[in-house]
Amino acid sequence: MALKDSYLLPAAADMHVHLRNAPGPIAELVTPTIRKAGIDTVFVMPNLAPRPVVTVDEALEYKKALQAYDPEVNYLMSLYLHESITPDEIRKAKKAGIAGVKAYPRGATTNSQWGVVSFDPFHAVLSTMEAEGLVLNLHGEMPSSPSENITVMNAESKFLPTLTSLHSKYPNLKIVLEHCTSADAVAAVRACGPNVVATITAHHLSLLVDDWSANVHHYCKPSAKSPEDRRALLQALVTSEGKFFLGTDSAPHDISSKKGKGNTAAGVFTQPYALGYVLTALEEGIARGDIREEAVTEEVLAGFFSEFGRRFYEVESAEKKILVKRDGAVVEESLKTDKVEIVPFRSGEKTWSVEWQ
């Protein structure tokens, strides 16, 4: 076997999750799966519908609703970068413990219709975030545009000059390029200073664009890309040194939204088995020669799964440990109640189990 049969690691932190509206049937079903995955801290996305989370009061109300489902999870809350947000709301957010503000280019992904067309009108807000130490979280894609030759395959690369420009204009602003998927994105993040980092998902470490386009439960934004891009993500993980850490972008949708009439909803549900998916992807990468076996150490895994994300968000180190064991679990065919059914990534396959110590 390429990897050890088990790893004793600090409790994980997932710095990009979608839990949906709370109270609500999807949040009720998926929120209890966070700790099942060996995760005790999550950064929660604000792109709810019919209204995103744009005020501190809304974020705190949302947090309280999630705590009702599992009070043992540390929920790091965020605001949606919206024209209604003011510098005073940013200062209030910092005092209230809000962890970040998420920017969605308008039209780029799920519930981004209220998003950013240009960052220029947000200068006062971004300057205040820089002064207060509040993180800017970027969905790093340009909206598809045939006239500008932008498709899902190059939308991330086309966005990277915006990342570079923001970092140049606000050098002390902490920025996360969320769910990076390309070799170009990895290189761009590495070229920026220490205030710029990126999250990597579990599924993008495995999927290629062919897999992405062939299975509705693999369909997501940003898209999976080429073997070269996947290799770059795996190499970024094992050589992270704090620049890259786990953000699953786990995005649950009811099966009717994935297989019903109309367009397929974008999102891969990975929450309950996130760490196992990453370990499987690393083994597959070793087998292909994308990374070296000796590059995957307990120290590397602890950093990527837990320590690097906590450090960037200034969250205390994990107090508890988890034991991750090979082939100790089987991914359900689906998770369901009488109101909703969600199909997880790699359903029906063996995966790594997690035991809290």
pLDDT at position 115, please? 72
The pLDDT assigned to 107 comes to 73
Among candidate residues 85, 65, 83, the one with its CA nearest the CA of residue 75: 65
Handedness of CA 305, 308, 313, 318 (dihedral sign): positive
Please write the tens of the pLDDT for every residue from 180-201: 999 999 999 999 999 999 999 9
Helix, strand or coil, per DSSP, at residue 138 = strand
Alpha carbon of residue 260 to chain centroid: 25
What does the pLDDT look like over 132-160, one tens digit per residue?
A: 999 999 999 999 999 999 999 999 999 99
Span 104-115, mean pLDDT? 76
**pTM as predicted:** 0.96
Q: In sequence order, what are the beta bridge partners of 78?
A: 100
**Where do the DSSP E strands lie in the chain?**
6-10, 12-17, 39-44, 74-76, 78-80, 100-103, 135-139, 175-178, 196-200, 244-246, 321-330, 335-336, 341-342, 350-356
Write down the pLDDT at residue 191.
98
How far is the C-alpha of 307 from the C-alpha of 196, rounded, in Å? 16
Mean pLDDT computed over every residue of the chain: 96
For residue 209, report the phi and psi dihedrals to the nearest 5 degrees.
-60, -30
Residues paired with residue 75 on neighbouring β-strands, in sequence order: 42
Phi, psi of 73 (to 5 degrees): -90, 140
Query: Per-residue pLDDT tens for 286-317?
Result: 999 999 999 999 999 999 999 999 999 999 99
Which bin fits 97, alpha (ψ -120 to 50), beta or left (φ > 0)?
left
The whole-angstrom separation of Cα 355 and Cα 199 is 25
Angstrom distance (rounded) from CA 2 to CA 274? 19
pLDDT band at 37 (very low <50, low <70, confident <90, very high): very high
Rg of the chain over all Cα atoms, to the nearest angstrom:
19
204, 268 Cβ separation under 8 angstroms: no
Tokens describing residue 270: 């990975």
| CA 85 from centroid of its chain's CA atoms | 23
Cβ atoms 246, 314 nearer than 8 A: no
Contact 21, 27 (CB under 8 A): yes
Q: State residue 281's pLDDT score.
A: 98
The amino acid present at 223, given as its one-letter code, is: S
Q: Does position 1 have pLDDT exceeding 60, yes or no?
A: no
Instruction: Quickly count helices (H) and strands (E) in the chain.
Output: 13, 14
Residues 112/47, Cβ–Cβ less than 8 Å: yes
